[in-house]
């Protein structure tokens, strides 16, 4: 099961990365970016892997997507930690890697195009890290702001996971726990 979970999340990350290039092209006036296509690719794999019926999926999908969005925002869960690694590091927060802005992609997929407060605080912290003139006091303030934003997201995540869990069978709950959606 662990190997299947790792394979699934690697495929999800590759799907997001593969769809990122058309977003960059759109920004350059040469392409088309379809958020729904990426979301559908991610969620259809989850639906198939867990084995939800169409009726179950209609109830589960919005709750599951909320959990996934909060995991990405907090940098937790399998896709959240992968996305954090993709946007982290020098140049990762604002400019992204590979010539496109990963935060823009994440905002489009998970926050209706608006950077979340935690993402904004993460970007501000990255900007400070890139500035050799940043002072220790300024770092303390930014770290405190970022930690507060992430704490709020984690509280929302706990609530969203409970909401998701309330509509699952025990088998579905166990599968989603193995996939990293539930604690």
Cα dist. 101→22, 56, 80, 130 in Å? 12, 35, 16, 16
d(CA 67, CA 160): 6
Sign of the torsion formed by the C-alpha atoms of 156, 113, 38 and 18: negative
d(CA 141, CA 77): 27
- pLDDT, greater one: 34 or 13: 34
pLDDT band at 12 (very low <50, low <70, confident <90, very high): low
d(CA 133, CA 170): 53
Cβ–Cβ under 8 Å, residues 27 and 41: no
Query: How crowded is residue 89: how many other Cβ atoms within 10 Å of its Cβ?
Result: 12
Average pLDDT on 7-11 reads 51
Q: Hey, which of 62-76, 93-107, 110-124, 144-158 has the most confident mean pLDDT?
A: 144-158
pTM score, whole prediction: 0.71
According to the model, what pLDDT value does residue 51 have?
Answer: 93
Cα dist. 165→43, 119, 129, 179, 181 in Å? 17, 26, 39, 14, 10
Task: State pLDDT tens for residues 21-39.
Answer: 444 444 434 345 677 888 8
According to the model, what pLDDT value does residue 43 have?
Answer: 84
Average pLDDT on 39-63 reads 91
Question: Where in the chain are the domains?
Answer: 2-179
Cβ–Cβ under 8 Å, residues 6 and 178: no
- As given in the structure block, the two tokens for residue 94 are 């604002």
List, in order, residues 6 or more apart from 95 with CB less than 8 Å away. 101
Calculate Rg over the CA atoms of the chain.
17
According to the model, what pLDDT value does residue 85 have?
Answer: 55
């Amino acid at each position: 099961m662990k190997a299947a979970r790792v394979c699934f999340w690697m495929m999800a990350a590759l799907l997001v990365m593969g769809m990122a290039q058309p977003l960059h092209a759109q920004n350059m006036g040469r392409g088309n970016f379809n958020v729904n296509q990426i979301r559908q690719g991610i969620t259809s794999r989850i639906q198939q892997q867990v084995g939800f019926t169409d009726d179950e999926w209609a109830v589960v999908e919005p709750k599951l997507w909320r959990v996934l969005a909060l995991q990405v925002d907090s940098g937790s869960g399998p896709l959240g930690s992968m996305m954090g690694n993709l946007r982290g590091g020098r140049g990762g927060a604002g400019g992204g890697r590979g010539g496109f802005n990963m935060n823009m992609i994440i905002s489009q997929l998970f926050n209706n195009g608006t950077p979340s407060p935690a993402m904004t605080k993460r970007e501000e912290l990255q900007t400070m890290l890139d500035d050799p003139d940043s002072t220790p006091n300024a770092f303390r303030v930014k770290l405190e702001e970022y930690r507060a934003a992430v704490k709020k997201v984690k509280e929302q995540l706990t609530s969203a996971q409970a909401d998701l869990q309330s509509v699952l069978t025990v088998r579905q709950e166990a599968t989603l726990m193995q996939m990293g959606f539930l604690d």
